[in-house]
Amino acid sequence: MDLLAQGSESFIYFDQGTVIKRRIRRPFLEEILDNRLRKERTTREFNILKKIHGMLNVPKPYEKQTYEFTMEYIDGTHPKLTPEIASFIGETLQHLHSHNIIHYDLTIFNLLESDQIYIIDFGLSFYSYKLEDKAMDLLVAISEAPEYEQEILESYRDEKVLKKLEEIKKRARYVH
């Protein structure tokens, strides 16, 4: 088993053609709380991948255990940020939001390019019908690619969410 990546909450391993995402114990949290959060986040991420696999290019989830799951290995690299990739991010968020899925970290670091572009790492994702959550998801993407804000917004077509995004931006102007 080879370590592919390490995040703040998990280790990502490559093992016999599959990826294992294992959520790790965080000693700064009380153990019962940490166990509950790891279990909930593992289940939610696995279920979201199951729901959208086939609708969007995401790794196919295979099997879930309490604090880890296995999924398809995608042999790719992070794409360069271009106007086309920025538009792809906006379109992808639009699609996710139409299914009330908030990614909350859709940046080029959570995209892999091989034969096509894949969306990865749904570790922060959750379900929400709220315009505020969808607009904040969009704001996170824009904040990671400010030079391509126009492309992201032009490819995102939900006017209600775009209006809420403008409200959020106005509120943020007064925060110091």
Residue closest to 10 by CA, chosen among 121, 149, 154: 121
- Tell me, yes or no, if 34 is annotated catalytic: no
| Residue 2: strand, helix, or coil | strand
One of 105, 115, 133, 137 is an active-site residue; which one?
Answer: 105
Q: How far apart are CA 158 and CA 139, in angstroms?
A: 14
Strand partners, 3: 13
| Residue 7: strand, helix, or coil | coil
Contact predicate 58/52, CB 8 Å: yes
Contact predicate 104/92, CB 8 Å: no
Q: What φ, ψ does residue 98 adopt, rounded to 5°?
A: -65, -20
Question: Would you name the residues annotated as active-site residues?
Answer: 105
